[in-house]
Every structure is written in structure tokens, then in C-alpha cells.
Structure 1
Amino acid sequence: MADQRGNNSASTSSSVNQESIGRLITLFSSALTSEWTRKRVAYNFLQFYRATKALAPDSTARIFLHHGGFKAWIAHYITTTGQAHFNGRQARQRLIEELDNLPVEERAGIAQKIASSSIHPTAKGLIQSMEQQTLEAQAAATDTAGRKRRRE
């Protein structure tokens, strides 16, 4: 079926989809590429990280972690957990909802593009610190699960 401009509706849908994907990549990448003023790691991020690993494989957070690694996941976490009210918040929420409705392959591609973003120098140390904390938590969980207690 053609629209008024003579375009195929499938190609129109595809171009709208590509536009949304571009906006999503920009939105999530900005969490990494923008200047950070925070001095501490993100609040409760470790709990959310653990929870993400238990989510369904087709959940957006898990897709970001699996396909984009820690960088994409932390960008998703920072972008989606903020509760502040600001101009444009509703539009941002609609865009995030669009992300959740995309096919898994599209979300995986977005995660990979976000992961290839450069990290702003003000964010680099904190992101490395958070990633190190997740690695230490994983090692501790593996170590605890692998040990058997001795009876005394």
C-alpha cells in the first residue's frame, strides 16, 4: 500500500524506525559521552546489575548487558532509572517504550552501537569503578557457591 507521497508503507515504517533507532542511540550514548558531575557510583547499581542477570533473555536491560557489555548496560541503567522531572521527560519515556517494543535483534544492534561510544573523561573513572565492583561481586558469588562448608 502506498502513502500520499507514493512511498511504500513498509519503507516509510522502516525510515521512521531508523529515525527512532538513531534517537535511541543518541539518548543512551549521552549517558556515557556527557560530562559527569557526580562524585560517587550510581545508587543501587549493583542490585540492578544482579537483577538484570536474572531477567528474561529478551528484556532490554539483559540484551544491553549481553550484547553491549557493561558500558551499554550502565548507559541503560542511568537513562532509565532517573526519577527527576524535566522538560522532555515524557518524550524520552515514549522513546524508551519504543525501544522495549523493538525486536531483540534491533535492541542488540543498538546496545552494540552504544558500547562503541567513547566515555567522557569525567565518567571514565566511575564507570571503571562500577564495572570492577560487578566483577568482584561475581567472583565473590562464584567463590561462595563453589565452596562447601566443613563440618566441625
Structure 2
Amino acid sequence: MDTNTLKNKIESIISLNDTKEFILQAICDLLESEISYYDWVGFYFKNGDKNELKLAQYTGEETEHTIIPFGKGICGQVAVSNKNFVVQDVSEQENYISCGWKVKSEIVIPIFVNEENIGQIDIDSHTANVFTDKDEELLEYICKKVAKILE
């Protein structure tokens, strides 16, 4: 994975004078197409005043998990902890919401606007033990850039 090239492509997408929805979808599509082990890429955001996340833009197989309560699954735990969560083997997680039998690992990075966790990027992979520090660093970079367009 060439993170510098991906960062440049992300910059190009974010600089487009288009809707937030278009930009978020373009980011999902880019990551899924450029990184072979990113099999599902999506954004979840806080659902109004409710203690739950609502699925926004995504790329990959459809999911029934369009609403996730805070604290439930990896995404729900990140909504509460405000910290990155890298799961190299989902079968080892007790508080995991299965999005499909093919998912073996997951990484979730929160998005902060004015120091408030307003959402997250969620990546599922069909390969176990695949995520590295480079993935975490790239996704943190993306979340900071996305936060600026959501302010």
C-alpha cells in the first residue's frame, strides 16, 4: 500500500466541489478498489440525539446493520471509547456484530469534529491478521480530512 499516493487521491476527492455524500462515497469506493484486503468500507454517524450510529455511505456487500446501538459491536464500542479499534480476528471478540461469515478482521477509526466523536470509518476484511500501523495511520488521516468537510 502506497499511503502517499492514497493520501493524494483522498486530497483530490475532498477538494471536489461536491456534496458531502458524494465525497464520502468516493472515499469508500477508492479505498475498496485500491486496497485489496478492504472488502467493505463504510461511514457510520451518530443518529441525531440518539445513542446509536446510522450507516451512511459504504461500498461492499449490503448489511442489515444500518443502526448500531452505542456499546454494541466494534463500531458501537468505538462510539463509547472514542479510540481506534483494530480487531485482527473477529472470532476472538465477544462483543462483535457479524456482518457476514466472510469477515475475518475489522478496523474502526473515530471521526472528531470540535473534539466530539460524530462518527467513524469502518473497514471489514475477509482476511484475518491483515491490518497494520499503516492502515491505522491512513485511516486516521482520512478521518481528519473528512472532519473538516463535516464541520
Bigger helix fraction: 1
Tell which has more relative contact order, 1 or 2 (C-alpha 8 A, sep 6+).
Answer: 1
Bigger strand fraction: 2
Larger Rg: 1
| TM-score, length-scaled by structure 1 | 0.31
